[in-house]
Amino acid sequence: MSAGDPRGEVAYAWHAKEAVRFFYDIPNARTANRYLAALAGDLQDNEFPPEVRSLGRTLNRWHTQIVNRHQARASNGPAEAINNLVKRVKRAAFGFRQFRHYRIRSLLYAGKPDWTLLDTITLH
């Protein structure tokens, strides 16, 4: 055990995270279903720190939805990326009073600027 993790809690959490990551590499939905059920049960063992046991309970509670990813082969990653972009733009655009300025900032953040719009900006 290292001085920074005397009870091994960080190590347990890291191993739990790696076990969850491995789940997404399983190509077969039936195998993934069995793996996730076993993992959720194992992580709830009292030998683990509370955070790891909480992860086990969460995996158990969301088991069906998590396994459905293997059947649908779909991800909400693109939607989350757009939500993240919108939030970053809103933070950066704080104080803009005109929608067209906000729109230009959004296009710049998205990496698809319409440079012809820059002529429409009036500085105050």
Residue-range definition of the domain harbouring residue 22: 9-72
Q: Is residue 63 part of a domain?
A: yes
DSSP tally for the chain: helices H, then strands E? 6, 0
Mean per-residue pLDDT, 14-42: 94
Q: Is residue 61 part of a domain?
A: yes
Q: Is residue 1 part of a domain?
A: no
Q: Is residue 40 part of a domain?
A: yes
Please tell me which residue, 21 or 98, carries the higher pLDDT value: 21
Q: Is residue 4 part of a domain?
A: no
With a threshold of 0.85, does the pTM exceed it?
no
pLDDT for the residue numbered 70: 82
Q: Is residue 3 part of a domain?
A: no
pLDDT for the residue numbered 14: 93
What residues contact residue 67 under an 8 Å CB cut-off, 6+ apart? 29, 32, 33, 36
Q: Please, which pLDDT band fits residue 118 given cuts at 50, 70 and 90?
A: low
Mean per-residue pLDDT, 57-61: 97
- Tokens representing 32 are 């993934």
Residues 23 and 56 in one domain: yes
At residue 92, does pLDDT exceed 90?
no
Total structural domains in the chain?
Answer: 2
Residues 36 and 82 in one domain: no
Residues 106 and 52 in one domain: no
Q: Is residue 2 part of a domain?
A: no
Residues 14 and 56 in one domain: yes
